[in-house]
Amino acid sequence: MPALDIHGKIAASQIAFYTPVAAFTIALVWRYAFRRDAGWLFLFIFSAARISEGALTLAGELVQQPKVDLFIAAHILQAAALAPLLLSTIGFLGMAGQSTYSEISRVSLIFRLTGLVTLAGLALSIAGGILGTHISPDKGNIGVILRRASAGVFVGVYVILFLAHLGCWTYHFQMRSYRLRLLGGATLTLPFLGVRVAYAILAAWSASDLFGISLSSRPSLAKFNPVNGEWITFLMMSVAMEFVVTALYVLFSTVLSRRHSR
């Protein structure tokens, strides 16, 4: 059996981390029957995407004659799964603001439009990952443009969420303590999420192809490629940041869950 390289070991750690998170969040979604903002639902989708990415990577490395489609799907998920993590941020901000700012139509509209923009970024990321592969080999340039546009959309969404969360704090005098703790948790995640989003834009410009074969001529940029760049940079700026954000969301959102189960 082929041995795992460093990316295979990272993939295994992602499966180990996100499997209990996925089970826990889907249990919360089931328990509350979608009655709240969809923070837990999108966190489950994000966890499922990371589990799928890890499984595809392991399958590609462990089978004797791996199919390139396994790696294509894994690389697409690596970039595209940032979308449900951003959507979960919208959901938890909305959950924290129930009975206060989330009831304001203008705020609700901002969250919904930001969610739609995030979904557009997701679509661009998936399309950009497909174009240029064997599925559509003559459209590689379009694929690069779409992947970079997607990363730019995610950066824009992050900026909107950061500014929106500052506005959310102006209602802190009206908020119950358990919802204020959730908003505080969202605030703690934003620096780590910001590092992850910064990595996304750098990774998008690190190579002109999905597999990281045609790396940027600038070594300072090429090292951010998640496939053939520096693995420690990928681990610290992408994988570890997502671990922290996920753990913080689970921790602070379950404080709210316990409050309502009494």
DSSP state of 238: I
173-189 CB burial, b ≥16 within 10 A, e <16:
eebeeebbbbbbbbbbb
Residue at token pair 């992850």:
196
* Mean pLDDT per 10-residue interval, the chain, length 262 residues: 87 98 91 70 96 96 86 96 97 90 91 96 97 87 96 98 94 87 93 98 95 93 96 97 96 69 42
The pLDDT value recorded for residue 34 is 58
Residue 137, token pair as written in the block: 């080999």
Q: How far apart are CA 27 and CA 84, in angstroms?
A: 18
The pLDDT value recorded for residue 37 is 62
Taking CA atoms, 149 is separated from 7, 70, 76, 128, 246, in Å, by 26, 24, 14, 9, 25
Q: How far apart are CA 251 and CA 42, in angstroms?
A: 16
